Structure 1
């Protein structure tokens, strides 16, 4: 067993890892330990320069490792994930890649999946820190730093965020303290201190005049009619509220909205003007629109703006079985055909195992346009909102009336919600078929749920559930006549 001592920094781990790879040390033969925290760093950077104080820096040999840009970014982001075993895990990933195992960079691999989850969590923490750090100006105009802030990040993203603020705050000096370190910008150089945060809590001895303007602005833009408490807490988690000057307004504004302010929206401000306030329901205020003449011309929601094309259903005009999914994916959006991507390929396996063929069933989705969000050069699936599902029911209803299937197989919660026209739990319906639209419906998992499982056994279990649901649908669609 080899013990490698490094500073708790990515550059130090990288240098030590290259030295270990040069000796072909297997991951299980290394015990990683952290050195004592040294003096404050001067002019910190986010490059890959090895730390000269790392024991590996003196190694006569360093392995040459060429990794993809995507893997390099994942390793660097995951290095900020708070986990005492992270350095050992990252070396295992690098060792597998170095020995030709490229599957470690795939989210389908057990280590790759863990690496992606770590990097995603760190990137979210980076976004949150940029969004929720609030600087307050000190009372003394000659004080250094001019601005101070306290923040509690979920992961070790202080260095990354400090460089972000250093590039955007000009020559104004500032200090950010956290439970695990502090960052100080003197107007020209960045200083990081990982020896511990400065004492005290998120309290200040003076009010900031700019903060008062911000609070007034925040209050004036609040529209109680558009309040969505679930979305509010999702995009502005409660754990960050104690660091936000506007947060003390939120409970009161939510209470006002609950007690009737939703009906009049921002009318309390407008009400001071001459005239009479008339409460109008949102649906009544909408202009009358002609129904779209074709799916390609549909503008019932905004998903068409970012989709390549609408993806309609395919299959026999009088199919006995309809398979209803959630929405097109990336490959479906480009090809214009439903279920042709990875989830569709897995669905084909289940269809074949159930004794059916794709030519026998009608394949469609509850939502006809691909909803996605950018992640680098990739387009990642994003679950449709209820209003988008409702808007697209216009097209699903037309398909149901035209095909009139004997059995509808709802693949996933979104498909089941669209079919029942209300928000329901998929687990409440997977146990048994139920009657709907004069026929039968069977609920099961979406094939993409199997793809998200972390191991082969779990994926096979989900695929087996889908197959059994299709077997049940086949039996309902073609019942055996009773003898006599």
Structure 2
């Protein structure tokens, strides 16, 4: 649309109620000049774009016949052949816009909103008529203009960051690298220029659902869509990238919520690492976070280096808190260590085997189904849970995967012996008169032997290291008993054992054997 005739054609079409077809910022800018020249108000203009809504690379539409130029004797508006009579304000109208506003308009034109051309024309109309507050973010239109520019710049940044080029085999020819992206806004032209300056003479192509750009090393070619999804891409070297990505992943610095907010979910499906990130997040949540490094690196023994005694470092102190404990390997797969809970001078201490799934997540002993059954047994025995000290022989949850669940796995003897360090500290601090061992693992931990037999000690208090030891079933064992009669009998054994523990703590049981 060049010259006065072109300007009159666009203005006449708008004044006659015909929609203006615009497919690029350059076309919109030319049309805006024409409309402003003839003082066509924004609310009288209808703007449309091509089907698909926003591809700036699509081919231009076929030119339509221009309506006849109006004359002084043109028929009145409203008749079938009406053509409005328009008088231009200036023969060669010029938009007097500051560079900052032009840059904002050009960026906002890439924002995929249905009324973008109409909105941009309203902004320009207001500016040309002296309403310069339209550039302010405090203005309603100005605020929207700033938001559109921000959305486009954010999309450009995301496209720079989350495009992943796949290398094609040499026999496939050019382009050597191909990438697929699904942008929310029309930012492909700007992004293409960015990669032209970054990739040198290496040939590449970026495909989107609406358009594609191809760089042959010297010229940038703009085309329509050439691919339908990232499934068309295959890179044999991608496995090497995933290996590197896993090796640099630091679970100790993981913030899953921040990761998801920085990388929207729509990008993950097209990122190669998107297939392995959920697995690494799960591993971090299950204990790898505490290593501060990848699990494989943390288990390497390293190389022994001979040094003189004067250069040797002093022996490290024993861990002072459970969170620092590395005495066995269970900490690697547990969420956290679970210490004891209860009065520091309790007369009765209950020792279980290890924390379960819910205890591992909550960081407290006996809060899951087994804990609820234990609460019921304590109530039947007339014993207040708040007056006893609850702990476990092993402080970390040992489990094995079963589908999406973590199932309990009995600790090995070496793991029980490693955790005796913490149980001994609890015994020395609480100094209970009676210990109730819940199950065979707890009994072996309390007695410090691997040969104690549960059934031989049920109902028979044992004197050990100056205190009584009473043995009962573990609550989880009672939960697993399938037969109702056997379940009821096991529950009775637990209640009787707890009652016996109260009697012994009150000095009403059998007299201690003579030293």
* TM-score, length-scaled by structure 2: 0.48
User: What residue ranges of structure 1 are gaps of 5+ in the alignment?
Assistant: 45-49, 285-484
Aligned to 1:10: 25
| Closer, same or farther: CA 277–117 of 1 in aligned 2, 3 Å | farther
Contact map agreement 1:4 1:33 (CA 8 A) in 2: yes
Aligned to 1:258: 285
Aligned to 2:417: none
Alignment of 1:140-151 (within 5 A): 140-151=170-181
Alpha-carbon RMSD across the aligned residues, in angstroms, is 3.7
Aligned to 2:198: 168
Structure 1 residue 117 corresponds to structure 2 residue 147 = yes
Structure 1 residue 184 corresponds to structure 2 residue 211 = no
The structural deviation recorded for 1:167 is 1.9
Q: In the aligned structure 2, how far is the partner of 1:123 from the partner of 1:172?
A: 26
| Closer, same or farther: CA 55–41 of 1 in aligned 2, 3 Å | farther
| Closer, same or farther: CA 221–115 of 1 in aligned 2, 3 Å | same
The structural deviation recorded for 1:117 is 0.8
Structure 1 residue 241 corresponds to structure 2 residue 268 = yes
Alignment of 1:1-400 (within 5 A): 1-2=14-15, 3=18, 5-34=20-49, 61-194=91-224, 197-204=225-232, 206-209=234-237, 211-266=238-293, 268=295, 269-274=297-302
Q: Give CA deviations for 1:196-247 in whole Å, capped at 9, x if unaligned.
A: x2243212464242x3333222211111111111110111112101111111
Q: In the aligned structure 2, how far is the partner of 1:278 from the partner of 1:129?
A: 50
The structural deviation recorded for 1:142 is 4.9
SS at match of 2:192: helix
Contact map agreement 1:183 1:191 (CA 8 A) in 2: yes
Contact map agreement 1:7 1:36 (CA 8 A) in 2: no
Contact map agreement 1:175 1:184 (CA 8 A) in 2: yes
Q: In the aligned structure 2, how far is the partner of 1:190 from the partner of 1:248?
A: 32
Contact map agreement 2:201 2:218 (CA 8 A) in 1: yes
SS at match of 2:164: coil
Q: In the aligned structure 2, how far is the partner of 1:213 from the partner of 1:278?
A: 40
User: What residue ranges of structure 2 are gaps of 5+ in the alignment?
Assistant: 1-13, 70-87, 305-315, 325-515
SS at match of 1:20: helix
Q: Give CA deviations for 1:345-369 in whole Å, capped at 9, x if unaligned.
A: xxxxxxxxxxxxxxxxxxxxxxxxx
Contact map agreement 2:209 2:228 (CA 8 A) in 1: no
Q: In the aligned structure 2, how far is the partner of 1:55 from the partner of 1:21?
A: 23
Q: In the aligned structure 1, how far is the partner of 2:274 from the partner of 2:318?
A: 31
| Closer, same or farther: CA 278–4 of 1 in aligned 2, 3 Å | farther
Aligned to 1:358: none
Which of the pair has the greater relative contact order for Cα pairs under 8 Å at 6+ separation? 1
Q: In the aligned structure 1, how far is the partner of 2:153 from the partner of 2:126?
A: 24
| Closer, same or farther: CA 25–131 of 1 in aligned 2, 3 Å | same
Structure with larger Rg: 2
Q: Give CA deviations for 1:94-116 in whole Å, capped at 9, x if unaligned.
A: 11001110110000000001111
Contact map agreement 2:251 2:294 (CA 8 A) in 1: no
Contact map agreement 1:138 1:206 (CA 8 A) in 2: yes
Q: In the aligned structure 1, how far is the partner of 2:180 from the partner of 2:320?
A: 44
Contact map agreement 1:15 1:54 (CA 8 A) in 2: no
Q: Give CA deviations for 1:352-397 in whole Å, capped at 9, x if unaligned.
A: xxxxxxxxxxxxxxxxxxxxxxxxxxxxxxxxxxxxxxxxxxxxxx
Q: Give CA deviations for 1:296-318 in whole Å, capped at 9, x if unaligned.
A: xxxxxxxxxxxxxxxxxxxxxxx
Contact map agreement 1:15 1:51 (CA 8 A) in 2: no
Q: Give CA deviations for 1:421-452 in whole Å, capped at 9, x if unaligned.
A: xxxxxxxxxxxxxxxxxxxxxxxxxxxxxxxx
Q: In the aligned structure 2, how far is the partner of 1:28 from the partner of 1:181?
A: 32
Q: Which stretches of structure 1, 4 residues or longer, exceed 6 Å deviation after superposition? A: 50-56, 275-281
| Closer, same or farther: CA 98–52 of 1 in aligned 2, 3 Å | farther
